[in-house]
Structure 1
């Protein structure tokens, strides 16, 4: 009995090492894409936390360090008062929020202003031992390429209590 194959199929189709649509290169490209995604090089990890403390309070910031253009993000700020703070003010440098759209800030500040080098958000007084948690929701504007950096500072009125550097790398 001879080898009879269906029309269009020959012996070479059965002995070919890689099928016509597949090659080692396509598998390597797919593996590279998966490794880049899993590595977090394009963002996607939980927000890192950093804090700074002074004699009156501790300021903690949880914000993304790496994000993608157009992404919606969340940052959290926490103020732990070691002593009473009569006028807690969070100030954010304009450079840090450049090309970011801030959608919500919960709780809303009692007073919002711009001056003395930043966006300023004043809250109700804090007694010693009080904690204020602030949640900020925003989005990265498509015009932001590369990233942005600045700082977040906690004041009691005009007196600085704690400052944190803040940066955001934006990936495509």
Structure 2
């Protein structure tokens, strides 16, 4: 059994991403055109902005795959494997107290939450919490209830 769960970005994160990228590029262009020569500050600014935009894109959640033994949290350049038999609990989570340290808004929420979840979220209304003995993950997917039911079925078999 191989099942894929697609991940779409919510309208809020689409608008936030566009606005933040537009703001960062606008500030950079303003600084570049008002500076007569290229200096170290501009190079540091553009290097940081481009790194943040590209890095957040590459690490943002792409899809969630489930097979008989594992869950795969897939980004553009990284795949996290979670063995199904190591899962203590899996449940839906509310978005109420979602404070994270990391990228907030560019391509979603990527980072570590205050309650120590590893977050990769593109839609705050479709959250799934996966808890292991030594790690916790908070992800989103288009069909969170189906993902939970699939994993619970595999865990019980």
- Asked if Structure 1 and Structure 2 have the same fold, meaning a TM-score greater than 0.5 normalized by the shorter chain, the answer is no
TM-score, with length taken from structure 2: 0.30
**Computing the radius of gyration over CA atoms, which structure comes out larger, 1 or 2?**
1
TM-score, with length taken from structure 1: 0.28
